């Protein structure tokens, strides 16, 4: 099996404050293969966007990577100087953000911005870069790209601006794209078009994508594998079909149960009681224990790592043989 394109190993992100150090991402590990879409899903505050920001070197101070490492094509990138990381960002890693207006300068035409990015990373003169920019706009579905290249961001609709941002991310044929909520600000019909576009780009270019979102519908349509995050850790990771249809972690099960199913009459959707803990109040043991319907004694004491749970891996003591045996003796937990 080929080595993964991206490896995140034991990543820990901290925010020093006057009241102490807050741990926003706590010892997570994941990988993405070439041409694969890894969905990262979870509630607001789970650490999804911070993980993506750390990979592209855009972690806002005072946030810092306190432990672990990030490797791209086998080379460590989390400890690079700013200028070196700036060269990698755009050339080897592209980025798509939720609001395209944060990525596009309203004072310059989209063509100027595309051409500047292309010439920064590729050995092309202005005429060659302009032609590549036109080709990219056509590839992402902008009509009449020869004319639209000289338009300004405000002359594009929200969906079209997001297509321009995708073209910007593709300027230098990056190996990896970090897409942080790329469809959230768009209406449903435009979302479907952007999802189809991302899937086609992966297929045609072999580009790997880390898709950060809170929308399980987008994950189901786009991703090959999915990582479910909760309180700065990965609760479950595995093939997207298995996680959606038969999630093993109680949190995953609750997330899936909260989504209505077309064609099925349901009197009441599953509701996860409570809320995700604040960074200042992460409970001891499993962070999900205050909300978990299958909690037992060990969940309050020890924090589980990812354990084999059939076709997925879940950070849950229900899948530890010793814990299951002990719980069965005391009758503390429901069946898995």
Identify whether the C-beta of residue 203 lies closer than 8 Å to the C-beta of residue 197: no
Check residue 220 and give its pLDDT: 87
Q: Mean pLDDT, to the nearest integer, of 176-199?
A: 85
What is the rounded distance in angstroms from the CA atom of residue 136 to the CA atom of residue 145? 9
What is the rounded distance in angstroms from the CA atom of residue 156 to the CA atom of residue 151? 8
What percentage of the chain carries pLDDT values higher than 70? 94
What is the rounded distance in angstroms from the CA atom of residue 221 to the CA atom of residue 3? 26
Q: Mean pLDDT, to the nearest integer, of 159-172?
A: 91
Check residue 330 and give its pLDDT: 58
Check residue 334 and give its pLDDT: 45
pLDDT tens by residue, 120-155: 999 999 999 999 999 999 988 899 999 999 999 999
* Domains of the chain, CATH where assigned: 6-230 (3.40.50.300)
Q: Which of 108, 83, 11 is CA-nearest to residue 50?
A: 11
Check residue 203 and give its pLDDT: 83
Tell me the H-state helices in the chain: 48-55, 82-91, 110-121, 126-139, 145-148, 158-169, 188-205, 216-222, 240-246, 250-257, 297-301, 321-330
Q: 321: how many CB neighbours lie within 10 A of its CB?
A: 8
Q: pTM of the predicted model, to two decimals?
A: 0.90
What is the rounded distance in angstroms from the CA atom of residue 122 to the CA atom of residue 230? 39
What is the rounded distance in angstroms from the CA atom of residue 86 to the CA atom of residue 233? 28
Instruction: Provide Rg for the chain, Cα atoms.
Output: 21
Q: Is the pLDDT of residue 158 over 70?
A: yes
pLDDT tens by residue, 99-116: 888 889 999 999 999 999
Q: Mean pLDDT, to the nearest integer, of 27-34?
A: 95
Q: Mean pLDDT, to the nearest integer, of 258-270?
A: 72
The alpha carbon dihedral of 276, 277, 282, 288 has a sign of: negative
pLDDT tens by residue, 240-252: 999 999 999 999 9
């Amino acid at each position: 099996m080929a080595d993964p394109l991206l490896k995140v190993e034991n990543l820990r992100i901290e925010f020093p404050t006057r009241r102490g150090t807050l741990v926003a991402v706590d010892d997570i590990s994941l990988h993405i293969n070439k041409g694969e879409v890894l969905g990262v899903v979870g509630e607001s505050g789970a650490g999804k966007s911070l993980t993506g920001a750390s990979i592209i070197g855009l972690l806002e101070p005072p946030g810092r990577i306190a432990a672990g490492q990030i490797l791209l094509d086998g080379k460590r990138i989390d400890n690079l100087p700013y200028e070196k990381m700036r060269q990698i960002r755009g050339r080897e890693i592209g980025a798509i953000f939720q609001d395209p207006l944060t990525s596009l300068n309203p004072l310059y035409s989209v063509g100027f911005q595309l051409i500047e990015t292309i010439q920064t990373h590729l050995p092309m003169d202005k005429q060659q870069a302009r032609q590549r920019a036109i080709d990219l706009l056509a590839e992402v579905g902008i009509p009449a790209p020869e004319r639209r290249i000289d338009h300004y961001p405000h002359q594009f609709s929200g969906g079209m601006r997001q297509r321009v941002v995708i073209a910007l991310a593709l300027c230098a044929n990056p190996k990896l794209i970090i897409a942080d909520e790329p469809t959230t600000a768009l209406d449903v019909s435009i979302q479907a078009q952007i999802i189809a576009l991302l899937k086609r780009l992966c297929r045609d270019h072999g580009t790997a994508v880390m898709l950060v979102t809170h929308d399980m519908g987008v994950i189901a349509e786009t991703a090959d594998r999915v990582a479910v995050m909760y309180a700065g850790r990965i609760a479950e990771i595995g093939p997207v079909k298995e996680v959606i249809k038969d999630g093993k972690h109680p949190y995953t099960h609750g997330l899936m149960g909260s989504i209505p199913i077309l064609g099925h009459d349901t009197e009441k959707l599953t509701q996860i009681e409570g809320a995700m803990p604040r960074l200042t109040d992460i409970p001891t043991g499993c962070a999900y224990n205050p909300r978990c319907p299958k909690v037992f004694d060990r969940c309050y004491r020890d924090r589980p790592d990812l354990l084999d749970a059939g076709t997925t891996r879940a950070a849950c003591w229900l899948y530890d043989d010793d814990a299951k045996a002990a719980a069965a003796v005391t009758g503390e937990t429901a069946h898995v």
